[in-house]
Amino acid sequence: MESNNKRIYLSSPHMTGNEHKYINQSFETNWIAPLGPNVDRFEEDLSQYVGAKGALAVSSGTAAIHLALRLLNVQAGDKVFCSSLTFVASASPILYQQAEPVFIDSEFDTWNMSPEALKRAFMDAEKEGNLPKAVIVVHLYGQNAKMDEIMEICNFYQVPVIEDAAESLGTTYKGRKSGTTGKFGVYSFNGNKIITTSGGGMLVSNDKVALVKGKFLASQARDNKPYYQHSELGYNYRMSNILAGIGIAQLAVIEDRVKQKQAVFQRYVQELNNIKEFVFMPEYQGTGHNRWLTTLFIDSNQLSFTPFELVQELEKENIEARLVWKPMHLQPLLNKFKYYQHSNQISVSSYLFERGLCLPSGTNMTEEEQSRVIEAILSFVSRRKSRHFIGI
Question: How far apart are CB 359 and ligand PLP at their closest, in Å?
Answer: 16
Nearer to ligand PLP, 62 or 350 (CB): 62
Query: Which residue, 90 or 171, has its beta carbon nearer to ligand PLP?
Result: 90
Least separation in angstroms between residue 356's CB and ligand PLP is 15
What is the closest distance, in whole angstroms, from the C-beta atom of residue 127 to ligand PLP in the complex? Answer: 30
Q: Which is nearer to ligand PLP, 215 or 372 (CB)?
A: 215
Interatomic CA distance for residues 362 and 292, integer angstroms = 8
How far apart, in whole angstroms, are the C-alpha atoms of residue 178 and residue 182? Answer: 10
Sign of CA dihedral 217, 223, 229, 230: negative
Q: Which residue, judged by CB position, is nearest to ligand PLP in the bound state?
A: 61
Minimum Å gap between C-beta 188 and ligand PLP is 3
Q: Are 232 and 58 in contact (CB under 8 A)?
A: no
Taking the complex as a whole, how short is the minimal distance between the CB of residue 113 and ligand PLP, in angstroms?
Answer: 12
Instruction: Name the residue nearer to ligand PLP (CB basis): 190 or 205.
Output: 190
Strands (E), the chain: 54-58, 79-83, 100-104, 134-138, 161-164, 172-173, 176-177, 184-188, 201-205, 278-280, 287-288, 294-298, 322-323, 339-340, 356-359
**Amino acid at the residue 381:** V
Q: Is 76 exposed, middle or buried (0-12, 13-18, 19+ CB in 10 A)?
A: exposed
Whether the CB-CB separation of 353 and 323 falls below 8 Å is answered with yes
Using alpha carbons, select from 227, 181, 195 the residue that is nearest to residue 46.
195
Nearer to ligand PLP, 179 or 288 (CB): 179
What is the nearest approach in angstroms of ligand PLP to the Cβ of residue 344?
27
Nearer to ligand PLP by Cβ, of 38 and 60: the residue is 60
Which region holds residue 7: left if phi is over 0, alpha if psi is between -120 and 50, else beta? Answer: beta
The smaller minimum CB distance to ligand PLP, of residues 38 and 112, is found at 112
Q: Other C-beta atoms within 10 Å of 175: how many? A: 9
Q: How far is the CB of 166 from ligand PLP (least distance, A)?
A: 3
CB 85 within 8 A of CB 102: no
Can you give the binding site for ligand PLP, defined by CB under 6 A?
60-62, 86-87, 89-90, 138, 164, 166-167, 188, 190, 201
